[in-house]
């Protein structure tokens, strides 16, 4: 009863905010729904945020329903911001999201704390996934969620342009600056940085990966063992300052949107896009002649570098512990983890996956697949910040520096917010 009461109160607070003009549209208003079922079987609800994957999921769901005529899948898609904000609340009574997806980091932690993840540890289909890529879905020895997508959150660069200018991928911070200087001499902006939206939260990962190779650094920050005023973060902020002061990122970067930054790279005004592999297909859509690859800035000397890039296993598939249709929900995840279905999803959406045995057909996916096995990447550090207020403080310090503040001053300001929000 308490649960229902609390759920109602949560909705009530949302109503209050809505009345006060503080909330967005309700999920039902803006979510996209697909129910391709015949209506005579058990209906399971599948909720996620990937609107761009609707067509391929519709096709996969149709195949699933052909094979399992007793199960209908109702898919609801919500914008990612909205999903992050309201996804958890939809799970509370078990009627929605029999199969749901979660972001790693703060959302995963919140859902785990609320007990909405069904433990999938003993399920046979867990073996269909690369065990090294699904650890982010583990908590307290239980496999609570299975990341499906694998993205590389590091700059996409114009390989063709580099070849033309005789540039090689830099292996140290000194080489990186030399490379950037050469690009500037050729009137090319080295890095298109979408500072108005996702730039800081994406680029911070590769900028700090070798400055703070300890993967527990943000856990320690949250527990008070580490501070943003220590060298690893101040050096990262100094590196950002250098990018801005030397013109390695475009002027007015904090006002530049993702679309504008992509246009700069597509038009070959800029050599790198500081986002991630998930934008490669869109860039090729804007300019099919581009030859693209991935490259993270190595911010230390070559001998000190431990990582070459950043990976994120995300779009974590899970079963709602409150669901009354857990077996059907698991059957759907088992179906999604089949190599042939995963291959269809990967190739039609242009993404790498965590599923074993996926065959990548597109040139871009094939050309960048070496990042999965042959390169040393680390899991996106930002997602290891489980407190959203602390994450916001970390990102704000980057914006502060790009806005003209001194690195130490920005670090101190952010650390104060970290201290206020530490649990």
Partner 1 sequence: MKISKMIYLFFIPGLLLYSIFFIYPTISALFYSFTDWDGLSDAYQFVGTGNYERALTGDTIFRKTVGNNLKFMLVVVILQTIVALAFALIVLKNTKTNLFLRALYFFPTILSSVSVAFIWSFIYDPSLGILNQILELLGLDVLRQNWLGNADIAIYSLAITQVWFHAGQMLIIFVAGLQAIPEDLYEVAKIEGASKWQTFRKVTWPLLAPSATIVIAYTTIQSFKAFDLVFAMTGGGPNNSTQIIATYIFDVAFRSYNFGYASSISVLFMIIIAAITFLQFKALRSDRISY
Whole-angstrom distance, CA of residue 74 vs CA of residue 306:
45
Helix (H, G, I), strand (E, B) or coil at 375: coil
Q: In the set 47, 120, 196, 372, which binds partner 1 (CB under 8 A)? A: 196
Strands 99-102 and 42-48, bridge-based pairing: parallel
267 touches 289 (CB < 8 A)? no
Tell me if 12 contacts partner 1 by CB under 8 A: yes
Q: In the set 115, 224, 285, 357, which binds partner 1 (CB under 8 A)? A: 115
- The two structure tokens encoding residue 26: 């309700």
Tell me if 409 contacts partner 1 by CB under 8 A: no
Q: In the set 252, 301, 361, 363, which binds partner 1 (CB under 8 A)? A: 252
Compare residues 115 and 224 and give the one whose CB is closer to partner 1.
115
Binding segment toward partner 1, per CB under 8 A, in 153-161, 207-215, 237-245, 257-265: 257-265
Beta strands in 49-121 (DSSP E): 71-77, 99-102
238 touches 178 (CB < 8 A)? no
Q: Which of residues 212-251 bind partner 1 (CB under 8 A)?
A: 250-251
Closest approach of partner 1 to the CB of residue 404, in Å:
8
Compare residues 52 and 420 and give the one whose CB is closer to partner 1.
420
Compare residues 170 and 195 and give the one whose CB is closer to partner 1.
195
Closest approach of partner 1 to the CB of residue 140, in Å:
16
Other Cβ atoms less than 10 A from the Cβ of 55: the count is 11
Tell me if 55 contacts partner 1 by CB under 8 A: no
Other Cβ atoms less than 10 A from the Cβ of 293: the count is 19
419 touches 391 (CB < 8 A)? no
User: Residue 215's Cα: distance from chain center in Å?
Assistant: 17
Helices within 296-369 (DSSP H only)? 326-336, 339-349, 363-368
Tell me if 268 contacts partner 1 by CB under 8 A: no
Tell me if 84 contacts partner 1 by CB under 8 A: yes
- The two structure tokens encoding residue 193: 């940085």
322 touches 391 (CB < 8 A)? no
Binding mask 350-389 for partner 1 (x = CB under 8 A): -------------------------------------xxx
Helix (H, G, I), strand (E, B) or coil at 241: helix
Q: In the set 45, 76, 86, 312, which binds partner 1 (CB under 8 A)? A: 86
- What residues make contact with partner 1 under the rule CB under 8 A? 2-3, 6, 9-10, 12-13, 15-17, 19-24, 84-86, 88-89, 92, 106, 110-111, 113-116, 195-197, 250-257, 260, 263, 387-389, 392, 396-397, 399-400, 402-403, 416-417, 420-421
């Amino acid at each position: 009863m308490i649960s229902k009461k609390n759920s109602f109160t949560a909705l009530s607070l949302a109503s209050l905010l809505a009345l006060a003009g503080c909330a967005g549209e309700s999920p039902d208003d803006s979510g996209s729904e697909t129910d391709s079922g015949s209506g005579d079987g058990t209906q399971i609800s599948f909720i996620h945020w990937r609107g761009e994957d609707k067509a391929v999921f519709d096709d996969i769901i149709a195949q699933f329903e052909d094979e399992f005529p007793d199960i209908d899948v109702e898919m609801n898609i919500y914008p990612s911001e909205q999903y992050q904000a309201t996804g958890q609340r939809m799970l509370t009574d078990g009627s929605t999201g029999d199969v749901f997806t979660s972001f790693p980091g703060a959302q995963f932690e919140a859902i785990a704390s609320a007990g909405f993840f069904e433990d999938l540890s003993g399920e046979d289909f867990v073996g269909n996934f690369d065990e090294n890529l699904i650890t982010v879905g583990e908590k307290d020895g239980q496999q609570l969620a299975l990341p499906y997508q694998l993205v590389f959150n590091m700059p996409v660069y114009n390989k063709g342009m580099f070849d033309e200018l005789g540039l090689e991928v830099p292996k140290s911070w000194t080489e990186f600056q030399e490379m950037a200087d050469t690009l500037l001499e050729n009137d090319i902006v080295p890095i298109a940085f979408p500072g108005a939206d996702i730039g800081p939260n994406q680029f911070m990962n590769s900028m700090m990966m070798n400055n703070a190779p300890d993967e527990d650094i943000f856990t320690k920050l949250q527990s008070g063992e580490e501070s943003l005023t220590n060298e690893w973060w101040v050096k990262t902020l100094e590196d950002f300052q250098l990018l801005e002061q030397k013109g390695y990122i475009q002027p007015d970067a904090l006002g530049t949107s993702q679309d504008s930054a992509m246009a700069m790279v597509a038009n070959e005004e800029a050599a790198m896009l500081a986002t991630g592999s998930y934008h490669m297909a869109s860039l090729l859509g804007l300019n099919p002649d581009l030859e693209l690859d991935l490259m993270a800035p190595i911010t230390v000397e070559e001998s000190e570098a431990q990582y070459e890039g950043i990976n994120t296993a995300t779009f974590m598939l899970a079963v709602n512990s409150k669901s009354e249709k857990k077996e059907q929900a698991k059957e759907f995840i088992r179906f999604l983890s089949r190599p042939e279905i995963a291959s269809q999803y990967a190739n039609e959406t242009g993404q790498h996956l965590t599923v074993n045995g996926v065959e990548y057909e597109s040139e871009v996916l094939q050309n960048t697949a070496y990042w999965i096995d042959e390169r040393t990447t680390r899991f996106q550090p930002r997602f290891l910040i489980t407190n959203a207020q602390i994450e916001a403080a970390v990102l704000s310090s980057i914006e502060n520096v790009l806005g003209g503040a001194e690195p130490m001053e920005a670090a101190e300001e952010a650390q104060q917010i970290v201290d206020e929000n530490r649990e």
